[in-house]
Structure 1
């Protein structure tokens, strides 16, 4: 198994469609004849302007509420539209050279899923895992019924669903709650899908645990890098770069086997602009995201410093999954400094595609100051992060690096190569050497 070559250049712009187009929560819910899914395509030029090469979609299949309680994997959610709207999305993406990643919920289904309704009526119940009082549920959520992944019919069903939408134009799958599904299930399903679509990409949602072991056992191409996500924001908030350095060390070991999906925000977590206690440090988090190995993803709205706090309650995700205007031009008042910063750092990454497999090593490390070298056989960058109230001195010549040039950062970069750089308090910089 080898990861498709196009993934080395992939940068995702992630969208949660049901929230993005105002389909959930909504009362009354929109109907298929409103064709709201097409509103996502209206933002594809924005994704290109940002520098993304693909759009990672949240759930678009028929479901009861938030999209993760699927009722029909073969049907577009009627709150979003219909099959023709999905085809329009694919056509518009292809015309711009954008890839499409779908969100597949194959650990559990909603209570209105056809097979579940048949089982409740006394029919075949072999599609579902048994619990103490009936069918097992996902993490105690009564509306999410866990599939029996040892049933060959379930294996065949998931293979067929994946192939159906890949044939319709998708480029890969994010596999929701992949950590809750037996690895051997994926190891049975994915080779059958790859037999027809060897260029498809599969990323499993894994929160913690043995990432390397999971990738090997499941045959995923990648998993979600929650360890690094947590270290990025908490090291900034706690003024403890030792945590980030430790996480990057582990990240290097993952890169020996696979390139993780990296992010500072997604549809399941508090937005980075709200998560950080000091708004000056948003640039620090982005600098890490876009200079370390992996496949980066930007959650829609983060590029404009959207705010939103996830809460552990019913409706607690709504603040991080807001409705967007119909067209990007209607959002001109939002945080364009943050948008331009995203553009600049994504452009930097595109000019250095070797960053996909880059490793890191620390050159300077204290609680509040961190300089790391990110490198491969093809190039080297230095990244300096300062959350101290004192300047950070980078004596490149003393470190045996000769001279360098600042190519990104919080301050005005010098125009010429220099042999030492000062990074202001709460500032950051990226240098070529």
Structure 2
């Protein structure tokens, strides 16, 4: 297990800044810069989380994943001073910061891309992948996302520079967007170079599926997004099928046994919110109970602690409903907030923090019936027995 020691205690509050501050897609009047997050850091503490996993904050054309300058804060979110103020405010509260880096592709107005188009035979053109027809390749069919050529030394050097630049400025780690489509050998070369300068940095790779232990071994990425467990949690509850979750927990346990602790979640900026996804809202506490009682580095997507709703749709602007603007004052709850959801999260996150060994716990399913799942989580000589009653919509955690 290569991750830094501090990660054992990390529980993230995950936020998409461009949406949260109201900077995108339709900026209204007022200030949208990163300092608007500072008052919410007290909420992060009250929730029980101890770090902020930021979505994209770098210069881009639209949603943040079409980067135009990795070394500049998006002007819609302020500037370097705004970033520095946010980091300083987090440090004052003992909170860590992780940034979201898009290194698979760049946006259509990236200066090197514009230069490559202006001179297809020039040096900038060599920084990008090309299709068989000679056109610069795009990511998963998105015309505004142009893929870098990760075999090029210049690309590797640039990514090392970017990662270190923001770690130097106070970040604690990086989420590596679309890590699954970048060659393993790219990360295997880049990340050790960065760790040589920042040995305490943590790297989270976005993957959709696959063998976590094998991917970590090949890339040296510390942790990977656990989409398989995410899907099994809500699908199992909707279908009334504890056996599906039991199977996924067994696979999850195998990853942990292989020496890698995944990043766990029941919601993020790319998926329909849990309160919308679940057919029966009584099951929401069961999903959060799983998140907080199995191995992983958990994250709570901003607003899920209030049981906010939001449907992701496969269309232009289809992410907007799960990335809404939040009030500037955390004393004002977001529209549709459920205070009971906040109390539930505080209770279960508190339990998680009292048992830090859960980070790398081994999980054993001891009972799976048509409407009930019981599992044991063990570590450091301690154990918890977790009971999920699908029919009653209830959960229970007891020492074992």
3-state secondary structure, aligned to 1:157: helix
Q: CA deviation at 1:373?
A: 1.0
CA distance in 1, matches of 2:289, 2:362: 15
What RMSD, in angstroms, separates the aligned Cα atoms of the two structures? Answer: 1.3
Aligned to 1:397: none
CA distance in 1, matches of 2:334, 2:12: 22
Deviation by residue 1:91-135 (Cα, 9 ceiling, x = unmatched): 000000000000000000001111101001103201000013410
Which moves more between the two structures, 202-211 or 166-175? Answer: 202-211
CA distance in 1, matches of 2:150, 2:299: 29
Q: CA deviation at 1:210?
A: 2.0
Deviation by residue 1:53-91 (Cα, 9 ceiling, x = unmatched): 100000000001000000000000001111100000110
Deviation by residue 1:167-211 (Cα, 9 ceiling, x = unmatched): 000000000000000000000000000001000000100001222
Aligned to 1:47: 44
1:45-84 to structure 2, matched below 5 A, reads 45-84=42-81
Query: Contact between 2:16 and 2:55, CA under 8 Å: does it hold in 1?
Result: yes
Query: Contact between 1:307 and 1:320, CA under 8 Å: does it hold in 2?
Result: yes
1:252 and 2:219 aligned: no
Query: Contact between 1:263 and 1:296, CA under 8 Å: does it hold in 2?
Result: yes
Q: Count residues in correspondence.
A: 394
Aligned to 2:226: 225
Structure number with the higher helix fraction is: 2
TM-score normalised according to structure 1 size: 0.89
Ranked by relative contact order (alpha carbons within 8 Å, sequence separation 6 or more), the top structure is 2
CA distance in 2, matches of 1:341, 1:315: 31
Bigger Cα Rg: 1
Match of 1:336 among 336, 339, 349: 339
Match of 2:286 among 271, 277, 284: 284
CA distance in 1, matches of 2:22, 2:132: 38
3-state secondary structure, aligned to 2:298: strand
Aligned to 2:274: 272
1:387 and 2:390 aligned: yes
Query: Contact between 1:35 and 1:82, CA under 8 Å: does it hold in 2?
Result: no
Q: CA deviation at 1:376?
A: 1.6
Q: CA deviation at 1:27?
A: 5.2
Aligned to 2:326: 324
Query: Contact between 1:290 and 1:345, CA under 8 Å: does it hold in 2?
Result: yes
CA distance in 2, matches of 1:430, 1:196: 42
Deviation by residue 1:195-252 (Cα, 9 ceiling, x = unmatched): 0100000010000122221111000000000000000000000011111000000001
3-state secondary structure, aligned to 1:103: strand
1:112-151 to structure 2, matched below 5 A, reads 112-122=109-119, 123-124=122-123, 125-133=125-133, 134-151=135-152
1:5-404 to structure 2, matched below 5 A, reads 5-26=5-26, 34=31, 36-122=33-119, 123-124=122-123, 125-133=125-133, 134-256=135-257, 257-331=259-333, 334-388=337-391
CA distance in 1, matches of 2:328, 2:181: 36
Aligned to 1:400: none
For the structure 1 residues 27 and 5, does the alpha-carbon distance in structure 2 shift closer, same or farther, using more than 3 Å as the test? closer
Which consecutive segments of 4 or more residues in structure 1 shift more than 4 A? Answer: none
Query: Contact between 2:212 and 2:260, CA under 8 Å: does it hold in 1?
Result: no
Q: CA deviation at 1:40?
A: 1.0
Q: CA deviation at 1:335?
A: 1.1
CA distance in 2, matches of 1:210, 1:137: 26
TM-score normalised according to structure 2 size: 0.96
Deviation by residue 1:112-165 (Cα, 9 ceiling, x = unmatched): 111101001103201000013410100010100000000000000000000000
Gaps in structure 1 of 5+ consecutive residues: 389-424
CA distance in 2, matches of 1:26, 1:336: 28
CA distance in 2, matches of 1:109, 1:101: 20
CA distance in 1, matches of 2:275, 2:132: 42
1:397-412 to structure 2, matched below 5 A, reads none
Aligned to 2:395: 428
